[in-house]
Amino acid sequence: MTKNRTILFLAFVGLASCGTKSTLPPIQPDVITEKTLNDTDDPAIWVNPIDASKSVVFGTDKKTNGAIYAFDLEGKIIEEKTIRNIERPNNVDVEYGFQLNDSVTIDILAFTEREKQQIRVFSVPDMKPLDGGGFPVFEDESNIEQRLPMGISLYKSPNDSSVYAIVGRKTGPLDNHLYQYRLISDSGEVQSQLVRKFGKFSGQKEIEAIAVDDENGMIYYSDEGVCIRKYYAEPYKGNDELSCFGGEHFLNDIEGIAVATYPNGEGYILVSDQQRGQFNIFSRKDNSFVKAVNLTTLETDGCEVVTVPLNKTFPNGLFVSMNDEQNFFFHDLGKVLGEAIEN
């Protein structure tokens, strides 16, 4: 092969591995965060209840010497809230109003630590560990490869305020692929309790992205090469799959999921179409396809959204997406959804 043909061949391979550029009109980010040390993956957003302009975006940096980075709304790293020396943190989520004891509720952050086969739980915004070093997951699996956690999402039941962690893994069985753990505090000491195993897996690629609609009590997760799967979040409602939707709208991998909630059941489910470099938006009410948008990110894994106003830059809420350049993109949610609805 000649030198010129070799260059062309390598360029083609590079395009194939990195996906294609979206042909939709680009929506430029309002903020691009400072870079992490290694490899960004998944974000979570904590809305400050006293001053929304001081809300914090957390993001995983997925390596052995990894971290949970904390960013302000200008994309600057908040070092005192960043958790370092985490062994391959994969996905992260936050939940509000966890009952720590009879008189105290706190907000919490949870993330998977893959190489230690466990999940971690910290308080927010003071970032104190609540887990005694971590909670092991998938302990009943004899194959160590099936004990490596990836995705996590927290669910707070509107029925009794119980808080659960729904955890996925890189590889595992075709049934009961996800485990759901209840987080329980006994006089301030938090423990985890396995309450159910559920969820189908096609076996084609992997399952990472998990999102929960607390208000509607629904779990969504990406079976990457097949569809977005939907289940009840309440364990007592059973383990039957409710839907497997959206697969025909993706080029290849179905990745990060974020649920934008509005009153009366209105809202959207935003999902990363990773190799196409865009996001597919579905109706929260009936999961029908609405539109795709191009937010100019590269190879997006995780994403997250809040619908409340935060500051002058994000008056309509905030959509955060991982970008494959060691950073995250922040978009005002109005620009994201407005582009979708107009088209």
Average pLDDT value over all residues in the chain: 93
In contact, 279 and 303? CB cutoff 8 Å: yes
Q: Identify how many contiguous H helices and E strands the chain contains and give both numbers.
A: 2, 24
Supply the pLDDT for residue 343.
Answer: 40
In contact, 224 and 204? CB cutoff 8 Å: yes
pLDDT band with cut points at 50, 70 and 90 for residue 19: low
Render pLDDT for 278-288 as a digit per residue (tens, 0 to 9).
Answer: 999 999 999 99
- Fill in the DSSP letter of residue 315: B
In contact, 168 and 178? CB cutoff 8 Å: yes
- Fill in the DSSP letter of residue 248: G
Q: Is the predicted pLDDT of residue 219 greater than 90, yes or no?
A: yes
- Domain holding 217, by residue range, is 22-342
Render pLDDT for 64-117 as a digit per residue (tens, 0 to 9).
Answer: 999 999 999 999 999 999 999 999 999 999 999 999 988 899 999 999 999 999
Supply the pLDDT for residue 186.
Answer: 83
- Tell whether 93 is covered by a domain: yes
Question: Is the full-model pTM beyond 0.75?
Answer: yes
Supply the pLDDT for residue 341.
Answer: 52
- Tell whether 4 is covered by a domain: no
Render pLDDT for 190-215 as a digit per residue (tens, 0 to 9).
Answer: 999 999 999 999 999 999 999 999 99
Q: Is the predicted pLDDT of residue 6 greater than 90, yes or no?
A: no
Window from 3-17, 56-70, 270-284 with minimum mean pLDDT:
3-17
Number of structural domains (the chain) is 1
- Tell whether 17 is covered by a domain: no
- Tell whether 1 is covered by a domain: no
Both tokens assigned to 206: 């992997």
Supply the pLDDT for residue 270.
Answer: 98
- Tell whether 14 is covered by a domain: no
Q: Residues 3-26, buried b or exposed e (16+ Cβ, 10 A)?
A: eeeeeeeeeeeeeeeebeebebee
Both tokens assigned to 170: 């890189």
pLDDT band with cut points at 50, 70 and 90 for residue 188: confident
Q: What is the mean pLDDT of residues 327-336?
A: 98
In contact, 259 and 220? CB cutoff 8 Å: yes
Supply the pLDDT for residue 2.
Answer: 41
- Tell whether 210 is covered by a domain: yes
Window from 8-12, 295-299, 304-308 with minimum mean pLDDT:
8-12
- Cis peptide leading into residue 125 (ω within 30°): yes
Render pLDDT for 118-171 as a digit per residue (tens, 0 to 9).
Answer: 999 999 999 999 999 999 999 999 999 999 999 999 999 999 999 999 999 999
Q: What is the mean pLDDT of residues 243-247?
A: 98
With a CB cutoff of 8 Å and minimum separation 6, the contacts of 10 are: none
Supply the pLDDT for residue 189.
Answer: 82
Total residue length of the chain: 343
Supply the pLDDT for residue 81.
Answer: 98
Q: How far apart are CA 295 and CA 101, in angstroms?
A: 42
Q: What is the CB-side half-sphere exposure of residue 18 using CA atoms within 13 A?
A: 13
**Percent of the chain at pLDDT exceeding 70:** 93
* CA distance to 29, 31, 96, 179, 305, per residue, from 309 (Å): 17, 16, 17, 34, 11
- Tell whether 10 is covered by a domain: no
Write 198-201 long-range contacts (CB < 8 A, 24+): 198/231, 198/239, 199/168, 199/175, 199/229, 199/231, 199/239, 199/241, 200/174, 200/175, 200/229, 200/241, 200/244, 201/172, 201/173, 201/174, 201/175, 201/177
- Tell whether 12 is covered by a domain: no
**CATH number of the domain within which 170 lies:** 2.120.10.30
Per DSSP bridges, beta strands 254-261 and 243-245 are: unpaired
* CA distance to 96, 178, 288, per residue, from 209 (Å): 20, 12, 19
